Amino acid sequence: MSDNISNDFFSSSDSVRSAHSLNHAQKVTFSEPLLLQNGSELPNVTIVYETYGTLNENKDNAILICHALSGDSHVASHDEDDDPGWWEILVGPDKMIDTNKYFVICPNVLGGCRGTTGPDSINPMTGQRYGMDFPSITIADIVEVQYLLIRHLGIERLLAVIGGSLGGLMVLDWTTRFPDRVSNAVAIAVAPRLTSQSLAFDIVARNAIQSDPHFYGGQYYDKGTGPSTGLAIARMLGHITYLSRESMTRKFDATRNVGRQLDTSFETKFSVGSYLAHQGNKFVERFDANSYLTLSMVIDTFDLGETQEERIQLLRKSMCRWLIISFSSDWLFPPFQAQEIVRTLIAVDKRVSYCNIESDCGHDAFLLENNLPLYGGLIQAFLKNGYEEHVARAQFEPMGGLSGNQRAPAHLHGTKHRIDYDGIIDLIPPQAKILDLGCGKGDLLYQLKQRGHSHLVGMEIEEQLILKCVHRGLDVLHSDINKGLKDFADKQFDFVILSKTLQTVRNVELILEEMLRVGTRVIVSFPNLGYYRFRAELNESGRAPRIDPRPGRLWYNTNDVRFLTLTDFEQFCHEKGYRIHRQIAFDTELDAVVESNPNLNADVAIVVLSRE
């Protein structure tokens, strides 16, 4: 087996993190004591950080990037001779986080071992390394130290804070600890707190380190050897949780029984065993066991609150726009947990977009190229629109006065005319809060936005359509409407819209109940099977009516699975006790409103409903 293949085999998302030079790192030391959350003090604190791009005159283009457990300040290379950084694929000139445009700051975290004060730093009070005397810290302490750095750099307000995993938890903390210092937050692969399963892995990892006989209660620095076996085992376990079952199968199954030759005391019988042994051994060369213990406990004690009420109390303080991203195969920070955060933000009417990216790369997906066009594209679009609003806000212009939409590229304006959209738009008063279910690429919401509506939320199931919405500066949530609207509180919206989607919905009763729960009014549009042409198709030709107008869409492959006439719907509302406020019927072939016998003469109907 050639070296190349072997190197590829051993590569991981971590490999780019492993050999960073810190030649371009800067350092600042704050000599005042730092009061920590647990009441103890650090006598001083040093921060190592790297910056990219130029802080502009208004100091409004600064982005803070927060690294994950084993990361450091080297998020990207500084020049061609520099080592690649851990987010090299995303950060740099003309990249999706464009350092020609933005000023990027990436500090090593408090408690780390790559320059910033941590357990392996000298305690000035004793002249010895802290070791286990390093105090228990929390995300809050890490963020407080980052805040010192930001102020040191003369930045009043960050354009954005961005991070994944542990870094994403920092993002969550930033938005509530310093709400007026953050305009945009991008939190990737995050959770309100770890699941008990994920927590359990961290506990086993810490037990492995702390029960290593070379741990010496954390004071191993002068012993010549440290708890490298325990740390390696912790790292092996970590690697399993960063990957997914699918990605491990892809990587290891074909060569399952082919162990690699390695200088290790760990088992190398299976290919996956060789990989784990290699990763474990490599990690102990660059990472400090006490930092690992400290930072894994930072993750484990992070808690936005057990209940939705507790989370609401916290997150309602945030004043930024939000982009939350999860990955479908991430089982360390599973998507349902990111969705809990989204649900909380929605409950307090924050502006949030969310996408659960289909990926088989597990937790590490946010560091990999596989899904870069989507997650990077979302970040890029979100930052672009956020920057425009951020600049506008800094200039004391009213929110939304210079929203990104009015400057959206011309091709986005080319929305195909739909008479039913016109009908819906005419029904909606100014200032109304709108939820559009199955919003697609945001055509209806975009038209509403252009008319000055500002409180608009879309829900969509297709990733690429979500990306288009974010490009348009719309707030859109990735969700399957067939599962209901549990993310939303009662009467959270003035109008909930389901336009030409009712006929594709499996659970009609649930969705209408849910719409009527979260909206004061509901607007539904659907094709009317009673239309005279549809009747004729069945009655005269003996064929199933072709309700789906798209070419090639016939009875066996259309998404339309509910067949109803306008009369059926009226009867349904009557039986359910729903009140019909308005009903507008269209003949879309004639592009005309139908007044007479709509159940026969209209092919599309719009109905405005409420509970009695």
Residues identified as active-site:
165, 330, 363
Q: Which CB sits closer to a copy of itself, 46 or 565? A: 565
Q: Is 578 a residue that touches a copy of itself (CB under 8 A)?
A: no
Q: Is 225 a residue that touches a copy of itself (CB under 8 A)?
A: no
Distance CA 289, CA 476 (A): 42
Strands, E assignment, 257-351: 321-327
CB of 296 to a copy of itself, least distance (A): 11
CB of 216 to a copy of itself, least distance (A): 14
Answer for which of 538, 580, 590, 592 binds a copy of itself (CB under 8 A) is 538
The enclosing H or E element of 582 equals: strand 578-587
Distance CA 566, CA 572 (A): 10
Q: Is 437 a residue that touches a copy of itself (CB under 8 A)?
A: no
* Residue 163, both tokens: 């991070």
Residues in binding contact with a copy of itself, number by CB under 8 A: 70
Q: CA angle, 415 as apex, 411 and 420 as ends, to 5°?
A: 175
Interface segment toward a copy of itself; rule CB under 8 A; list 21-29, 35-43, 113-121, 199-207: 199-207
Q: Which CB sits closer to a copy of itself, 194 or 378? A: 194
CB of 438 to a copy of itself, least distance (A): 17
Q: Is 557 a residue that touches a copy of itself (CB under 8 A)?
A: yes
Answer for which of 44, 210, 415, 588 binds a copy of itself (CB under 8 A) is 210
Q: Is 539 a residue that touches a copy of itself (CB under 8 A)?
A: yes
CB of 508 to a copy of itself, least distance (A): 4
Interface segment toward a copy of itself; rule CB under 8 A; list 67-75, 143-151, 208-216, 603-611: 208-216
Distance CA 589, CA 549 (A): 11
Q: Which CB sits closer to a copy of itself, 218 or 404? A: 218
Strands, E assignment, 312-429: 321-327, 352-357
Answer for which of 34, 63, 233, 365 binds a copy of itself (CB under 8 A) is 233
Q: Is 461 a residue that touches a copy of itself (CB under 8 A)?
A: no
Interface segment toward a copy of itself; rule CB under 8 A; list 51-59, 310-318, 408-416, 550-558: 550-558
Query: Distances in Å between the alpha carbon of 227 and those of 131, 132, 405?
Result: 13, 13, 56
Q: Is 265 a residue that touches a copy of itself (CB under 8 A)?
A: yes
Distance CA 16, CA 71 (A): 10
Q: Is 182 a residue that touches a copy of itself (CB under 8 A)?
A: no
Query: Distances in Å between the alpha carbon of 127 and those of 33, 405, 493?
Result: 16, 58, 60
Contact yes or no for 134/217 (Cβ under 8 A) = no
Distance CA 308, CA 49 (A): 35
Sign of CA dihedral 544, 549, 555, 559: negative
Indicate the DSSP class of residue 39: S
Q: Which CB sits closer to a copy of itself, 241 or 385? A: 241
Query: Distances in Å between the alpha carbon of 474 and those of 184, 232, 359, 541?
Result: 14, 45, 24, 45
The enclosing H or E element of 191 equals: none
Q: Is 494 a residue that touches a copy of itself (CB under 8 A)?
A: no
**Pattern 506-525, a copy of itself, x by CB under 8 A:** x-xx----------------
Q: What is the CA radius of gyration of the chain?
A: 28
Answer for which of 572, 573, 588, 593 binds a copy of itself (CB under 8 A) is 572
The residue assigned the tokens 């890490």 is 142
Q: Is 8 a residue that touches a copy of itself (CB under 8 A)?
A: no
CB of 334 to a copy of itself, least distance (A): 7
Interface segment toward a copy of itself; rule CB under 8 A; list 397-405, 429-437, 438-446, 503-511: 503-511
Q: Is 105 a residue that touches a copy of itself (CB under 8 A)?
A: no
Q: Which CB sits closer to a copy of itself, 21 or 597? A: 597
Smallest Cα–Cα separation from 602: which of 576, 561, 566, 574? 566
Pairing of strands 158-164, 182-188: parallel
End-to-end CA distance of the chain: 73
**Pattern 300-319, a copy of itself, x by CB under 8 A:** x-----x-------------
Q: Which CB sits closer to a copy of itself, 303 or 388? A: 303
The enclosing H or E element of 148 equals: helix 139-152
Q: What is the DSSP string of 204-259?
A: HHHHHHHTSTT-GGG--TTSS--SHHHHHHHHHHHHHHHS-HHHHHHHHSTTTT-P
The enclosing H or E element of 75 equals: none
- Which spans of this chain sit near a copy of itself (rule: CB under 8 A)? 193, 195-197, 199-201, 203-204, 206-208, 210-211, 213, 229, 233, 236-237, 240, 243-245, 248-249, 251-253, 256, 265-267, 269-273, 276-277, 300, 306, 331, 334, 506, 508-509, 529-530, 534-535, 538-539, 542-545, 554-557, 561-565, 567-568, 572, 599-600
